[in-house]
Amino acid sequence: MDQMRSKRTARPKPSEIAGLLERDINIGQLGPRAWLKQIDLEEQYGCSRIDLRQALDRLVEKGLVRREVNRGYRVEEISEERMDEIRRIRAILEVAAAEDLMPRMDEAALAELTGCAQRFADSLTTGTVAEQEAANHEFHAVMLRYCSNRELVRLIFDLRSRLPLNVTRQRNTSTLLARAAADHFAIIECLRARDMERLAPLLHRHVMANLADPG
């Protein structure tokens, strides 16, 4: 009984708190330049001051939060230049991952990926913004599942998390979203044909597009 009670009342770990903070920054609940009042966050996340500071420092390292001496922490405001830099790195890594995973994409894998591409395309007319983002994430997560270099995959998703959705969501237009959907199907055809020469520039352009969920 005591063990069950301790599990229910266990405080979140710094890594878990960092994940919650990152989520709230990404969805815009904690906006750019907002001060992060530690006493409020302790209550919100049910954590200790020490664990909260460790979590905040993790996000400082990722560039999502800034620490100002004698003032505290605030959400970082990401510049256009930095967003482009992150996209450029992601594009390079995505192409490298595609070259690694291409030989393992059999017909079953391609069929699963086609289903993901169709769900994203359907979401453009019937889904919410959140559903569109989830469908786009699913497409790339399924594709990257076949990459043998898991450190490379972790780097890709880490970079992706450095572009808060609330910052770039406003860039989405019906034209950009439609092009993203078309890109997904074109990517599948390149994978099926084992055509890396055509896939590399296509994937690079896809990641660099100003999408809320950039690939």
The rounded distance, in Å, linking the Cα atoms of 38 and 43 is: 9
CA max distance for the chain: 61
* Domains of the chain listed by start with CATH number: 2-75 (1.10.10.10), 80-208 (1.20.120.530)
- Residue 67 phi/psi, 5° resolution? -100, 125
Give the whole-angstrom CA distance, residue 33 versus residue 36.
9
Let me know: does 18 contact 52? Beta carbons within 8 Å. Answer: no
Among 66, 69, 88, 70, CA closest to 78: 66
Residue 7: the pLDDT is 46
Res 4: pLDDT: 45
Q: Nearest 5°: phi and psi at 65?
A: -130, 145
Q: Quote the radius of gyration of the chain (alpha carbons, Å).
A: 19
176 pLDDT higher than 90: no
Sign of CA dihedral 29, 33, 36, 37: negative
Distance from C-alpha of 109 to C-alpha of 141, rounded to nearest angstrom = 12
Read off the pLDDT band of 214 (50, 70, 90): very low
- The answer to whether the beta carbons of residues 12 and 20 sit under 8 Å apart is yes
What number of residues does the chain have?
215
Q: CA 166 to CA 172: how far, in whole Å?
A: 11
Q: Residues 71-96: what's their mean pLDDT? A: 90
**pLDDT of 78:** 80
Does this model's pTM top 0.75? My answer is no
Per-residue pLDDT tens for 44-81? 999 999 999 999 999 998 888 999 988 999 988 888 88
pLDDT of 8 > 50? The answer is: no
The answer to which of 18-27, 61-70, 91-100, 140-149 has the lowest mean pLDDT is: 18-27
Residue 46: left if φ>0, alpha if ψ -120 to 50, beta else—which one?
left
Q: What is the pLDDT of residue 121?
A: 96
Mean pLDDT of 102-129: 94
Q: Which residues contact 82 (CB under 8 A, 6 or more apart)?
A: 63
d(Cα 21, Cα 65) in Å, to the nearest integer?
10
Question: What is the SS3 assignment for 96?
Answer: helix
**Res 168 pLDDT > 80:** no
